[in-house]
Amino acid sequence: MNIKKQLWTWDNIFTGLLALKGERKLYLVGGAIRDILLNRPPEDFDFAIEGSGIEFARKFAEKVKGTFILLSKRDDEARVVHSVSGLTFDFSGLADKTIEEDLKRRDFTLNALAVELDEFRVEEEKVIDPLGGFNHLTKGVIYPVGKESLKQDPLRLLRAFRLSLELDFKIDEKILDLARGLSLTGVAPERISGELLRIMEKPKSFKYFRLLVNLGILPQIFPEAKTFFESAELLNHSLFTYEKIEQLLSGKNFFSRFPAEGASYFNPVPRRKALLKLAGFFHDLGKLETRFVNGKGEAHYYGHDTLGAQKVEQMMKERLRLSNKETLTVKALVARHMHLHLLATSPVLTDRAIRRFFRLPEDEYFGLMILTYADGYATAGKIAHLEAAIERMIRLKQEDTAKAKMKRLVTGHDLISLGLKPGPIFKELLQEMEDLRLEGKIETREEGIAYLKGIICFFKN
């Protein structure tokens, strides 16, 4: 692989770096070198500098008008976020270490690479590579720098899985051997959450998600779910549901019929695919505590969706430190995962029942449909009734959306003119008018006013 290319397209930023370093040696290290050698745009940049990394970062932030963030005073590490480009630059001081000694303390050999920064170029022959990382890079293998690599930072296991998915690289068996019995004690929830959800957001994450279960990593992350992980039947169903959701999120399948709905659901919200998979995995979390066997020997799980949602909410907040919005997304999906099952098996599925489904909460309906479909498939493999219900529901919503663009027949001003005072009843009455119009029961403003007068008269009498 003959690599000799211009690296920098942000000349003013890196000119500032070279000007600041003076006579000190400054090295570009780690993932940025890896990505450049793979012809991938680097996501962030790590540097090792002779002298103080924190002080260098502070001066660099002033020069490029970036934001300075202290990462670790003990390890002499700081970050600069460039305000214009959004690029992230991490700096660490070498102290009394050589660059080779610094590289040997990193996670994987393909990240234990460095180039001394004295011009805007990265050339293959100038790469400092004390552990054979370049060879592993060309072979597509993620290899640990040493036996203590995972013990020094257990989160490196999750990072290895993520890199494998991002780069389509194999993981050396030594990493899996080192992972057995690995403890995540002391690892910050925010760090765990960041790596775990980045794994889950990938289209082929299932094999590593299952491996995290089998290695005992997920049970450590979610200790409240101990009995859940110990129930083979429930765990297998949950993994099957996760796998099916992942399949439905990629490739041609039933949900490919609704590209606009899929795009409007997933595109605006970062990590939404990962959140949906989380909800899919934990959707039956409340089953073990709600199991009831009747006189016929039949098992029922009344309220398991509600209890599961409560437990999931706690885990998302405490164990992954998700935002309130992300937590509510997972909670809502778990809380309502039985709703569509009940609608799809109802003897009569009315338009009004469908519209009620879309209102609570509307922005999660598409994810809920995917979860319910995957759950049904993982339970019995029978999904024809779900497909029929989902098809009808989405088509009705499409029709209603088109009609909703029309001007309202009745407004709040009309309600006031009829002697009503503004309050919660306004929303209910206006929604009722909209439902009646969608159902074809009223077509003009006059018909709407007449209907309202009838309601008011009824309640007055």
Specify the length of the chain in residues.
461
User: What SS3 state is found at 51?
Assistant: coil
CA distance 92 to 102: 10
**Which pLDDT belongs to residue 3?**
36
Contact 182, 153 (CB under 8 A): no
What values do phi and psi take at 29, rounded to 5? -130, 165
**Which pLDDT belongs to residue 344?**
95
- Find out if CATH 1.10.110.30 is the number for domain 143-221: yes
**Which pLDDT belongs to residue 138?**
95
Helix (H), strand (E) at residue 307:
helix 304-318
**Which pLDDT belongs to residue 408?**
79
Contact 275, 330 (CB under 8 A): yes
CA geometry: angle 80, 84, 89, nearest 5 deg = 25
**Which pLDDT belongs to residue 119?**
61
Contact 337, 312 (CB under 8 A): no
Mean pLDDT by groups of 10 residues along the chain of 461 residues: 42 78 91 90 90 95 92 93 87 93 94 84 77 96 94 95 97 94 93 97 97 97 97 98 97 92 93 98 96 84 95 98 96 96 94 89 89 95 93 93 78 85 84 82 86 77 57
**Which pLDDT belongs to residue 460?**
65
Contact 221, 197 (CB under 8 A): no
Both structure tokens of 461: 């009498």
* Closest to 429 measured CA to CA, from 440, 443, 413, 444: 413
Provide the whole-model pTM: 0.84
Helices 53-64 and 11-21: angle between axes, nearest 10 degrees: 140
CA distance 49 to 58: 13
Domain boundaries of the chain, sorted by first residue: 4-139, 143-221, 231-402, 412-460
CATH architecture for the domain at 4-139: 2-Layer Sandwich (3.30)
On the question of a common fold for 143-221 and 231-402, the answer reads: no
What is the DSSP-derived secondary structure letter of residue 108? B
Overall CATH class of domain 231-402: mainly alpha
CA distance 436 to 451: 10
Place of tokens 């009004």: 352
